[in-house]
Amino acid sequence: MSNSKVFFTDMRARPGMNLLDKLRNLVKRAGMTEMDFQKKFTAIKLHFGECGNLAYLRPDYPALIARMVSEKGGKPFLTDTSTLYSGMRSNALDHLKTAAEHGFTPYGVGCQIIIADGLKGTDEREIVINQKNCKTAKIGSVIADSDVLISMNHFKGHELTGFGGAIKNIGMGGGSKGGKLEMHHASKPVIEQSNCIGCQICIKNCAVHAIHLDENRKAFIDYEKCTGCGQCIAMCQYYAAHPNYEEGEASVAGACERIVEYCYAVLLNKPSFHINFIMDVSPNCDCWGMNDLPIVPSIGMAASFDPVALDRACADMVNRAKPIPGSQVLEKCSHYHEGEDKFSAIYPDTSWKAMLDYAESIGLGNQDYELITVK
């Protein structure tokens, strides 16, 4: 198999060449404008940002891509699916309100915004994939019904997959609530009671009322109710709630494999193109209601038709970069050495490399890449 091409541009700008100009040049050079968009419903998949989190992509970037699709005769729209956990993106109405508060409106971005899995997250298409873990995948109906998909991904750390890039955004972000439940169920959280202070934030944010306090005012989980959505992990500020690594690597690895399979389902028989933004590289998912200090300085933007090559190239660039003093990389790994895997330093029980190996094994893409710099 020949190397996949990944195109990259850095964050340097100058008069007459701002970052939006650089993004336009990047995607043109990478071949996006050569795709057939004529009268095609084109889903631009991104994350509209959680309330309190400021690391999400600015709406100017998808607005440019939507204009470029329209110029080629396409019918672009911005989209995402509802979250499994409770919050301001767990249904279409609140999700659209959050998107608007963050600047994503039809007037601002020049196209419509549609929540892909409907009002309550239950509108889905079941796509047959016959993979190791999932024989079918429950994909948000709007994404499944689209003719073309463009993913725009904030590249950052992630507590389950090590990092979140194209594969994570498409896979987890393409699933309906039922699909997310299927992806998450292999890695239900546990409470490390020695860290729990009884603040009850996990209880207040559990959508299925599966968490309670015991007689010592320590949180515990009723696993008959728990869906494994991970909201308690995202909300806990004391590292008391975390994925159930006690069950062994198979638990987390299984969830990562399901995410890969869902990404495969979204892209099956559908023309697609992918853009990663390696900026504000926060250690946690954008689903958190905050964003911590970035682990490295902003690096640039990268684009490819191959999501596996794209994610691998971005991970390599982050790992070659110097960590920012005071960031989680140095906080959690006091013996960190330059060039080491930053994502594994933050989340030692995850394996993004295994995730990419699996993605490559099922034909989602190729980890061997040629990096082409665009000025």
Q: Residues 289-320: pLDDT tens digits?
A: 999 999 999 999 999 999 999 999 999 999 99
Structure tokens at 31: 């071949």
pLDDT at position 319 is 96
Q: What is the pLDDT of residue 227?
A: 76
- Report the pLDDT value the prediction gives residue 34, as an integer from 0 to 100: 98
Q: Which residues of the chain have pLDDT under 70?
A: 1, 185-187, 234, 243-250, 334
pLDDT at 89: 93
pLDDT of residue 57: 97
For residue 248, the model assigns a pLDDT of: 47
Whole-number pLDDT of residue 187: 61
Pinpoint the alpha helices (H) of the chain: 19-30, 60-71, 92-101, 106-109, 141-145, 166-174, 177-184, 201-204, 231-235, 249-267, 307-320, 328-332, 342-346, 352-361
> In the beta sheet, which residues pair with residue 301?
9, 277
pLDDT at 246: 47
pLDDT of residue 310: 98
